[in-house]
């Protein structure tokens, strides 16, 4: 292959290294106003009054409340429970109540400080336990946004046959996406032209749908344009619909362009985080270490509104039983309401939470059965032809056992384990350990999601004789522009430089679906490939393109075609492969078209004087189908591993009354370059029949396996099984002290 598997230059790379790329805050319009959001401090209550203090020329300000909304006061996504602007009821701290705009951004900040909200408080709930116990009912009838029951076999009859029954409880904390570019939108809106927004976002058509409902306008009156986006990781999946609505409401009322950019304090405190989770495991095993049954109770904290939580829960549920064969499984999964800002999409999307619990639980089982962590997993790995927890037949050529063997070799696992064991005995304070995780991650939307989406992608010839891809799939750093160009160039048999990517602009590109769920390469990339095949076929049939051709002959053929027919544009639409079947009612069937498979190994050092854990070496080995761009693919994994190290060790959201109070980069601790040790990435490639050139998805995969591998290594180093993350030094200290006390 000429382009697939090659390290071609990143499509927009030059603009990024020269500072020429235009991000949302780099864009201004003449006569533009700045906008800010006035938010509640109270976590739950009834809004009584808004007080505007003296000393501010309030008449100069554009003010928007829920009364100014021309259409529907909800963020259209799945449910309709989340208002754009609170209408009397406050359900979480930082809930938007009032919008202000003014040409002077300094005066605007001063004005925001001079507005106060009088709220009659209502009793709130702040965590999963309080919500499950219905301390207060804060959402619906029972605080439960969504519940799933996933069942395979008959779990109730396994307990008496089991040689071992092992129970455990696991907790994961919230995690901030921490894209380095904060959220922001610029809007132009008026009744004549409709609403246009530019912004830092992942999913133009999510914003499009939300603005249609907010303004009660038809599709052609709403236009959403993605600007260069400085990272997303899920954090710019659903939340930009909120900011876009706010900016557009201010623009609509003022008649002027409005820029609404969050600073870091606001972005951290007000926008979505990864859902905190609480998982209870009960596992039946035979004396030979076969898993006979798993009963899993998986609960997520959804925050105050439903947002995407049901979908996050779904992915977490399906991944909860992992890549292991087990005939009897029951997963009861719920996502519940609390009076905190809603939690939302974050790379991994529910799977990192349930996989953390499972992998830690397997380690616990291995210890109890006196098997190595590796061996217990080997005895249970799912294989080709076997059924997952949803009853999906694995029809990929996967061998987790081989991946395990390779990961053991690459990390020198056995030798390190023995070496650390003997060194640790000699060293009172410095303890080293090595640990592992094995896992899978489904690519694309869950179940029938892709079939419902019916993603569409366009491709056209330009008069310069180039090919332009029309897609709503966004480049957010992961390399969409580059891999799409490679896939197209490969399928068309032309130079990489002849491929252009249209700006994701809903007025210009069809809906290729959201840029989420590790779907861009596998699902939308396949649409690129099939569109390219159509283009080639049209050119051939028209007689302008011979059976063999050079790139310049191809360009000439495009130009000749355009001269004659004026347009060459094709669309390709997603068709569910016929072998994929899913039943939403029973929650059974083919959950995902394909899975990426992985074994990760973490090597860590603990200083028992300070209880600090450092990752010294990390081996990330995965099978992801065909790798389209080795450097970009490795970059995805390395970045995901670093985020996973943050998730496992450093990144703790400190809550007070439902509000994040460490909302500064100084106090929310993501790893720096000095904190990240060597990350070694290895790919195995087993081409997937329905992916472009055989590719599957990789974006989310690394988040799933890092934290459990690190916790496993901590256990190996000091014999302390810590069932929660992040394992900050304070957390490790607490567990260490309580073990000392108990023993």
Establish if 611 lies at the interface with other proteins (CB under 8 A). yes
Closest CB 233 distance from other proteins, rounded Å: 7
The residue (of 505 and 612) whose beta carbon lies closer to other proteins is 612
What is the distance between the alpha carbons of residues 663 and 653, in angstroms, rounded to a whole number? 8
Establish if 476 lies at the interface with other proteins (CB under 8 A). yes
Residues 651-670 that bind other proteins (CB under 8 A): 654, 661-662, 664-667, 669-670
Instruction: Answer yes or no: are the C-beta atoms of 38 and 62 closer than 8 Å.
Output: no
The residue (of 232 and 465) whose beta carbon lies closer to other proteins is 232
- Binding piece for other proteins, criterion CB under 8 A, among 14-22, 318-326, 454-462, 500-508: 14-22
Of 211, 347, 144, 183, nearest to 269 by C-alpha is 183
The residue (of 176 and 363) whose beta carbon lies closer to other proteins is 176
- Binding piece for other proteins, criterion CB under 8 A, among 10-18, 85-93, 134-142, 390-398: 10-18
**Dihedral (CA of 732, 736, 742, 743) sign:** positive
Establish if 720 lies at the interface with other proteins (CB under 8 A). no
Closest CB 659 distance from other proteins, rounded Å: 12
The residue (of 162 and 608) whose beta carbon lies closer to other proteins is 608
The residue (of 181 and 295) whose beta carbon lies closer to other proteins is 181
- Applying CB under 8 A, which of residues 673, 741, 742, 743 lies at the interface with other proteins? 673
Q: What single string gives the DSSP state of each residue in 246-267? A: HHHHHHHHHSS-EEEE--HHHH
Establish if 344 lies at the interface with other proteins (CB under 8 A). no
Establish if 354 lies at the interface with other proteins (CB under 8 A). no
Establish if 477 lies at the interface with other proteins (CB under 8 A). yes
- Binding piece for other proteins, criterion CB under 8 A, among 127-135, 226-234, 322-330, 358-366: 226-234
- Applying CB under 8 A, which of residues 244, 278, 641, 709 lies at the interface with other proteins? 641
The residue (of 325 and 676) whose beta carbon lies closer to other proteins is 676
Beta bridge partners of 501: 469
Establish if 182 lies at the interface with other proteins (CB under 8 A). yes
CA 334-338-343 angle, 5° bins: 75
What b/e readout covers 515-528, taking b as 16+ CB neighbours within 10 angstroms? bbbbbbbbbbbbbb
Establish if 501 lies at the interface with other proteins (CB under 8 A). no
Establish if 265 lies at the interface with other proteins (CB under 8 A). yes
- Binding piece for other proteins, criterion CB under 8 A, among 89-97, 116-124, 230-238, 683-691: 230-238
Instruction: Answer yes or no: are the C-beta atoms of 66 and 83 closer than 8 Å.
Output: yes
- Binding piece for other proteins, criterion CB under 8 A, among 125-133, 143-151, 223-231, 510-518: 223-231
Q: How many residues bind other proteins (CB under 8 A)?
A: 80
Site string for other proteins, 245-264 (x = CB under 8 A): ------------------xx
Of 364, 379, 392, 358, nearest to 152 by C-alpha is 392
Q: What single string gives the DSSP state of each residue in 203-236? A: -HHHHHHHHHHHHT--GGGEEEEEPB-S--TTTT
The residue (of 72 and 109) whose beta carbon lies closer to other proteins is 109
Establish if 13 lies at the interface with other proteins (CB under 8 A). yes
Establish if 50 lies at the interface with other proteins (CB under 8 A). no
- Binding piece for other proteins, criterion CB under 8 A, among 66-74, 167-175, 332-340, 641-649: 641-649
Residues 15-44 that bind other proteins (CB under 8 A): 15-23, 25-26
- Applying CB under 8 A, which of residues 1, 9, 154, 415 lies at the interface with other proteins? 9
CB atoms < 10 A from the CB of 93, how many? Answer: 24
Instruction: Answer yes or no: are the C-beta atoms of 388 and 418 closer than 8 Å.
Output: no
Altogether, the residues listed in the chain come to a count of 743
| H/E run at residue 369 | helix 351-369
Closest CB 330 distance from other proteins, rounded Å: 37
What is the distance between the alpha carbons of residues 66 and 206, in angstroms, rounded to a whole number? 21
Establish if 502 lies at the interface with other proteins (CB under 8 A). no
- Applying CB under 8 A, which of residues 85, 329, 679, 707 lies at the interface with other proteins? 679
Tokens for 573, please give them.
């639409």
Long-range contacts of 651-656, Cβ-Cβ distance < 8 Å, separation of 24 or more: 651/173, 651/175, 651/176, 651/178, 651/726, 652/173, 652/726, 652/728, 653/173, 653/174, 653/175, 653/176, 653/273, 655/126, 655/174, 655/340
Establish if 489 lies at the interface with other proteins (CB under 8 A). no
Instruction: Answer yes or no: are the C-beta atoms of 576 and 638 closer than 8 Å.
Output: no
Question: Distance between terminal CA atoms of the chain?
Answer: 62
- Sheet of 96-102: strands edge to edge? 62-64, 96-102, 33-39, 258-261, 184-190, 194-199, 222-226
- Applying CB under 8 A, which of residues 650, 683, 688, 735 lies at the interface with other proteins? 650
Which residue's entry shows tokens 């009364």?
67
What is the distance between the alpha carbons of residues 621 and 641, in angstroms, rounded to a whole number? 11
Which residue's entry shows tokens 């997603």?
574
- Applying CB under 8 A, which of residues 672, 740, 741, 742 lies at the interface with other proteins? 672
CA 458 vs CA 71, 511, 529, 549, 633: distances in Å: 31, 9, 11, 23, 25
- Applying CB under 8 A, which of residues 121, 734, 738, 739 lies at the interface with other proteins? 734
Beta bridge partners of 381: 324
- Binding piece for other proteins, criterion CB under 8 A, among 74-82, 147-155, 322-330, 475-483: 475-483
- Applying CB under 8 A, which of residues 297, 327, 402, 675 lies at the interface with other proteins? 675
- Sheet of 115-121: strands edge to edge? 89-90, 45-52, 115-121
The residue (of 18 and 287) whose beta carbon lies closer to other proteins is 18
| H/E run at residue 239 | helix 239-254
CB atoms < 10 A from the CB of 719, how many? Answer: 12
Establish if 603 lies at the interface with other proteins (CB under 8 A). no
Establish if 632 lies at the interface with other proteins (CB under 8 A). yes
- Binding piece for other proteins, criterion CB under 8 A, among 159-167, 175-183, 212-220, 537-545: 175-183
Residues 102-131 that bind other proteins (CB under 8 A): 105-107, 109-110, 113
């Amino acid at each position: 292959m000429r382009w697939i598997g090659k390290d071609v230059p990143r499509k927009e790379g030059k603009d990024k290294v020269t500072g020429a790329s235009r991000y949302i805050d780099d864009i201004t319009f003449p006569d533009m106003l700045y906008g800010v959001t006035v938010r509640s401090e109270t976590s739950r209550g009834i809004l009584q009054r808004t007080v505007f203090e003296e000393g501010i020329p309030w008449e100069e300000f554009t003010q928007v409340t829920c009364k100014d909304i021309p259409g529907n006061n909800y963020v259209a996504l799945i449910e309709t429970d989340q208002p754009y602007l609170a209408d009397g009821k406050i359900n979480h701290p930082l809930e938007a109540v009032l919008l202000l705009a003014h040409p002077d951004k300094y005066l605007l900040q001063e004005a925001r400080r001079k507005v106060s909200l009088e709220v009659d408080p209502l009793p709130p709930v702040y965590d999963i336990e309080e919500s499950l116990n219905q301390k207060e009912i804060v959402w619906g009838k029972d605080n439960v946004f969504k519940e799933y029951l996933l069942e395979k076999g008959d779990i109730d009859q396994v307990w008496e046959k089991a040689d071992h029954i092992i129970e455990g409880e696991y907790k994961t904390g919230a995690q901030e996406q921490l894209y380095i570019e904060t959220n922001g939108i610029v809007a132009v809106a008026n009744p004549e032209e409709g609403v246009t927004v530019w912004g830092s976002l992942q999913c133009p058509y999510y914003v499009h749908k939300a603005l249609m409902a907010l303004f009660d306008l038809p599709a052609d009156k709403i236009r959403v344009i993605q600007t260069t986006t400085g990272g997303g990781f899920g954090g710019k999946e659903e939340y930009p619909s909120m900011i876009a609505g706010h900016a557009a409401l201010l623009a609509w009322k003022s008649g002027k362009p409005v820029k609404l950019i969050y600073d870091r304090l606001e972005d951290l405190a007000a926008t979505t985080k990864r859902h905190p989770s609480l998982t209870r495991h009960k596992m039946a095993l035979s004396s030979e270490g076969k898993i006979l049954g798993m009963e899993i109770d998986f609960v997520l904290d959804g925050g105050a509104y439903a947002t995407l939580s049901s979908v996050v829960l779904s992915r977490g549920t399906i991944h909860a039983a992992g890549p292991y064969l087990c005939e009897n499984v029951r997963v009861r999964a719920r996502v519940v309401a609390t009076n905190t800002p809603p939690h939302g999409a974050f790379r991994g999307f529910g799977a990192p939470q349930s996989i953390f619990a499972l992998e830690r639980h397997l380690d616990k089982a291995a210890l109890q059965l006196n098997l190595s962590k590796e061996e217990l997993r080997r005895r249970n790995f799912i294989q080709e032809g076997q059924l997952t927890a949803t009853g999906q037949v694995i029809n990929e050529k996967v061998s987790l056992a081989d991946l395990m063997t390779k990961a053991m070799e690459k990390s020198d696992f056995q030798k390190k384990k023995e070496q650390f064991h003997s060194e640790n005995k000699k060293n009172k304070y410095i303890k080293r350990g090595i640990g592992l995780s094995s896992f899978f991650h489904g690519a694309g939307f869950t179940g029938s999601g892709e079939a419902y989406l019916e993603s569409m992608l366009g491709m056209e010839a330009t008069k310069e004789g180039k090919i332009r891809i029309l897609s709503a799939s966004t480049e957010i750093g992961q390399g969409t522009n580059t891999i799409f160009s490679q896939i197209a160039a490969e399928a068309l048999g032309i130079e990489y430089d002849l491929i252009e990517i249209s700006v994701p602009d809903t007025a210009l590109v069809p809906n290729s679906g959201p840029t989420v769920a590790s779907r861009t390469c596998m699902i939308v990339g396949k649409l690129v490939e099939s569109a390219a095949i159509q283009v080639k076929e049209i050119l051939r049939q028209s007689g302008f393109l011979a059976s063999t051709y050079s790139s310049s002959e191809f360009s000439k053929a495009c130009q000749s075609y355009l001269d004659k027919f004026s347009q060459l544009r094709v669309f390709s639409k997603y068709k569910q492969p016929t072998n994929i079947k899913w039943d939403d009612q029973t929650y059974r069937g083919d959950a995902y078209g394909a899975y990426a498979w992985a074994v990760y190994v973490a090597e860590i050092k603990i200083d028992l004087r300070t209880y600090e854990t450092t990752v010294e070496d990390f081996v990330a080995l995965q099978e992801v189908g065909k790798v389209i761009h080795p450097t970009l693919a490795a970059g995805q994994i390395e970045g995901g591993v670093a985020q996973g190290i943050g998730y496992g060790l450093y990144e703790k959201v400190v809550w007070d009354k439902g509000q994040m109070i460490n909302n500064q980069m100084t106090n929310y601790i993501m790893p720096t370059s000095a904190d990240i040790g060597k990350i070694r990435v290895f790919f195995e490639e087993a081409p997937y029949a329905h992916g472009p050139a055989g590719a599957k998805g990789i974006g989310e995969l690394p988040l799933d396996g890092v934290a459990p591998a690190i916790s496993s290594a901590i256990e190996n180093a000091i014999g302390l099984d810590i069932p929660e993350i992040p394992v900050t030094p304070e957390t490790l200290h607490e567990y260490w002290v309580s073990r000392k006390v108990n023993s």
